[in-house]
């Protein structure tokens, strides 16, 4: 028994060494590509660096963070980002689950439909944002034309100019584009579920709705959690979609757009780096919270 245990331990150590051997090149590249710029950004956030005097910047401690936390425009960007994230991810999760359940059924042409569903996700974000920007135009946009022809509205709506409509338009475009991604991840989880549970439920005559809430949904929680984590992290750092459709407008400005405005438009590298660092810390905090909640779920299941 001891010899067998030692052999198993040696095999485990060998596999662990092999794993680290294969991971080392990737970790080195990641450290160079992501780690060094991140550390450089954090270091700039403690200085008064300007784009014209990067080499002559001075250390000022936490002054950039103090001004940042007192800036109402920053808190408006935080509010916009969190609102965008909560609403869009919630809608995408529900729609993605419904689409995944539909695509998981057996019917003719299922493969073609799966490919068609992924088209919005495959389109580059800048292209889709520009396309929808034209569609939401208040003068010649097709959205207003459809709503006018069907009697839903009596006069054109300024979707991208009205503060009460601009965020709704951005969220609608994000939902259209990213729901297929959620559906794809959830569909992968559905196809990994054990089929014997459903066979037993069918034999016992359990209603499909009860099976969904008592069997499918609990087993699907890990896949949904992974999908929500990915989409939440992506939504918190949203930039391209909002910037192409709205630019630097305060009504829809995200934290990433705020940081970009300070870095590029105002050329304040130190202050913009502080905003980018704080954005990184917020995303890291959300990641820890989701992983913690996921760990609690796995412990309860065990």
Compute the distance between CA of residue 14 and CA of residue 21 in angstroms, rounded to an integer. 10
Q: Does 84 fall in a domain?
A: yes
54 falls in which pLDDT band (50, 70, 90)? confident
Per-residue confidence (pLDDT) for residue 7, from 0 to 100:
52
295 falls in which pLDDT band (50, 70, 90)? low
116 falls in which pLDDT band (50, 70, 90)? confident
Give the tens place of pLDDT for each residue, 9-30: 777 788 888 888 888 888 888 8
Q: Does 99 fall in a domain?
A: yes
Q: Does 40 fall in a domain?
A: no
Compute the distance between CA of residue 89 and CA of residue 33 in angstroms, rounded to an integer. 28
Q: Does 25 fall in a domain?
A: no
**Comparison of pLDDT for 279 and 215, the residue scoring more:** 279
Q: Does 33 fall in a domain?
A: no
Q: Does 193 fall in a domain?
A: yes
CATH number of residue 113's parent domain: 1.10.3720.10
Q: Does 43 fall in a domain?
A: no
Domains contained in the chain, number: 1
**Comparison of pLDDT for 252 and 213, the residue scoring more:** 252
Mean pLDDT of the chain: 85
Across 284-299, average pLDDT: 70
The answer on pLDDT for 1 being more than 70 is no
Percent of all residues in the chain with a pLDDT value above 70, rounded to a whole number: 93
Give the tens place of pLDDT for each residue, 28-38: 888 788 788 88
Give the tens place of pLDDT for each residue, 157-191: 989 888 889 999 999 999 999 999 899 999 888 88
Compute the distance between CA of residue 112 and CA of residue 14 in angstroms, rounded to an integer. 44
The answer on pLDDT for 132 being more than 90 is yes
Per-residue confidence (pLDDT) for residue 220, from 0 to 100:
87
The boundaries of the domain holding residue 101 are 72-301
Per-residue confidence (pLDDT) for residue 271, from 0 to 100:
92
Q: Does 22 fall in a domain?
A: no
């Amino acid at each position: 028994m001891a010899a067998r245990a030692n052999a198993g331990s040696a095999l485990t150590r060998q596999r662990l060494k092999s794993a680290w051997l294969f991971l080392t090149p990737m970790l080195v590249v990641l450290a160079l590509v992501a780690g060094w710029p991140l550390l450089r950004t954090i270091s700039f956030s403690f200085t008064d660096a300007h784009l014209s005097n990067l080499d002559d910047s001075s250390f000022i401690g936490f002054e950039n963070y103090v001004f940042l936390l007192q800036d109402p425009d920053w808190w408006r960007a935080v509010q916009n980002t969190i609102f965008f994230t909560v609403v869009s991810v919630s809608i995408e999760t529900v729609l993605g689950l419904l689409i995944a359940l539909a695509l998981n059924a057996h019917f003719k042409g299922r493969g073609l439909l799966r490919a068609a569903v992924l088209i919005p996700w495959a389109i580059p974000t800048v292209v889709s944002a520009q396309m929808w920007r034209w569609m939401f135009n208040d003068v010649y946009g097709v959205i207003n034309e459809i709503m006018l022809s069907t009697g839903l509205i009596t006069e054109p709506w300024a979707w991208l100019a009205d503060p009460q409509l601009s965020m709704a338009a951005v969220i609608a475009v994000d939902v259209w584009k990213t729901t297929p991604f959620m559906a794809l991840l959830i569909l992968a989880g559905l196809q990994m579920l054990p089929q014997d549970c459903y066979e037993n439920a069918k034999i016992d005559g359990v209603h499909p709705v009860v099976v969904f809430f008592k069997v499918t949904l609990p087993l699907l929680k890990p896949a949904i959690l992974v999908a929500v984590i990915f989409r939440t992290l992506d939504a918190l750092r949203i930039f391209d979609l909002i910037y192409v459709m709205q630019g630097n407008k305060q009504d829809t400005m995200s934290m990433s757009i705020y940081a970009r405005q300070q870095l590029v438009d105002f050329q304040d590298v130190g202050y913009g780096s502080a905003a980018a660092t704080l954005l990184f810390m917020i995303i890291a905090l959300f990641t820890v919270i989701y992983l913690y909640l996921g760990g609690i779920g796995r412990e309860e299941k065990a």
